[in-house]
Structure 1
Amino acid sequence: MVARPSRSAPRPLAPVPDAAGLRAVALAYLARFSATRAGVERMLARHIDRWVRRAVSSGMDEDDAARAVQPARGAIAGIVTDMEGLGAVDDARFSEFRARSLARAGRSRRMVAAHLGARGVDEATVSHAVEEALGPRDGEGQETELAAALVFARKRRAGPFVRPDADGAEVDRRYRRAMDAMARAGFTHDTARRALDMELGEAEDRIMRMRMA
């Protein structure tokens, strides 16, 4: 009989997280990813939570594990402030970059703002970043919003982007479905209609100009 290989021994529990260790975790994370202040805080909290779960599964009392990491939890805010001082965390810069990226991917102004808010960026920073990245709502921002709507329509293959061989019924069906989808995605009725009624050449030019801006 062939003996079964023995299971590997469980990984030993790492030391209790401390400020120095969390700082190293934050620096390693920010070397790979762009993140908001709130995002880094959540990442460090999850790192601590994982240690607590491993400690409990290793036999430590849950209350003892929770008490052991209290100093680390208290250090998170200061570590993130240090990251801001180093320029590694900048909510305004992150928000402007992400706003441009999302608009180019076909997201409406409203959805861009919601996306940033969900990542813990405060309302004033979101408002300023959207204005800077996409333009004023009553000016340049309207053109950016229209270009984003065109990207959305292109993904749906509707309006100017419908298949050349589509018959009238399919054209109408895709138009109606795109109008409904664009409303749910935060585009106004007027912006959606302008995008879907546009000629293909102009639509492609507008998308190109937005992506080159």
Structure 2
Amino acid sequence: MSSPADPASPRKPPRPVTRAVLDRMALAYLERYASSAENLRRVLARKVERRCRLRGEEPEAALALVEEAVARAAASGLVDDTAYTEARVASLRRRGGSRRAIAAKLAAKGVDAETVGAALARDAQARAEDDPDADPEREAAWALARRRRLGPYRTAARAENRDKDIARLARAGFPYGVARQVVDGAIDGEDG
């Protein structure tokens, strides 16, 4: 008799895709990750296609159930694109994400541009309420410079790496003027 770890032993095919199986898949994914509705749809579709391929079935019938599972998750409040977008905007801003980079990351997760724009506007408004002179792009550029040790956070050869640091911030989606201000700036309490 062969053991379960034996590669020669025949594997039992996975269970067929049903409504209950899809709901469990969605819940298992959402327990671990926050997600947009479109991202959940993509994840479930990949899982369904893989399971159907292992069973030797055509996935079309099972893929129709994916839309229903996503709709149930959204109706129960497990998936909320607006809340997901606002949380991701806040998180990415803290980490030093530019407006362009945030929009691109959220578009890749299937969030529409209108929802992203509204979340970015709310984030900027909230920051302006705390500090009327706040510039979210500049604050994010400073956060990225601090994390990546660019510009004033560089320990050595700051002048020699000036252009590289500006280019790094520009590749991260920051406008040239903001990148130059950050790289040429001084950390509060230090001379530049």
If the length of structure 1 is used for normalisation, what is the TM-score?
Answer: 0.77
Matched residue, 2:186: 199
Structure 2 residues not aligned, in runs of 5+:
none
| Closer, same or farther: CA 86–6 of 1 in aligned 2, 3 Å | closer
CA distance, structure 1, for counterparts of residue 177 and residue 7 of structure 2: 64
Counterpart CA distance in 1 for 2:40 and 2:162 is 42
Residue type at the aligned position of 2:106: L
For each residue in 1:67-93, what CA deviation from the matched residue of structure 2 results, as whole angstroms up to 9, or x when unmatched? xx3332111112111111111000111
Structure 1: tracts of 5 or more residues without a match:
57-64, 204-213
2:89 counterpart of 1:99:
yes
Distance 1:155 1:48 in 2: 39
> How many residues are matched?
184
Query: What is the CA-CA distance between 1:202 and the residue it aligns to?
Result: 6.1
Query: Counterparts in 2 of 1:56-95, with a 5 A limit?
Result: 56=56, 65-66=57-58, 69-95=59-85
Taking the aligned partners of 1:7 and 1:101, their CA distance within structure 2 comes to: 44
1:171 is paired with a residue whose SS is coil
| SS of alignment partner, residue 173 of structure 1 | coil
Q: Cα RMSD between the aligned structures?
A: 2.5
Equivalent residue number for residue 156 of structure 1: 148
Identity %: 32
Greater helix proportion: 1
Tell me, in whole angstroms, the C-alpha distance in 1 between the residues paired with 2:103 and 2:189.
Answer: 27
The TM-score normalised by the length of structure 2 is 0.85
- 1:141 CA drift (Å): 9.3
Cα distance in structure 1, aligned partners of 2:87 and 2:12? 41
Contact residue 106 and residue 150 of structure 1 kept, 8 A: yes
Larger Rg: 1
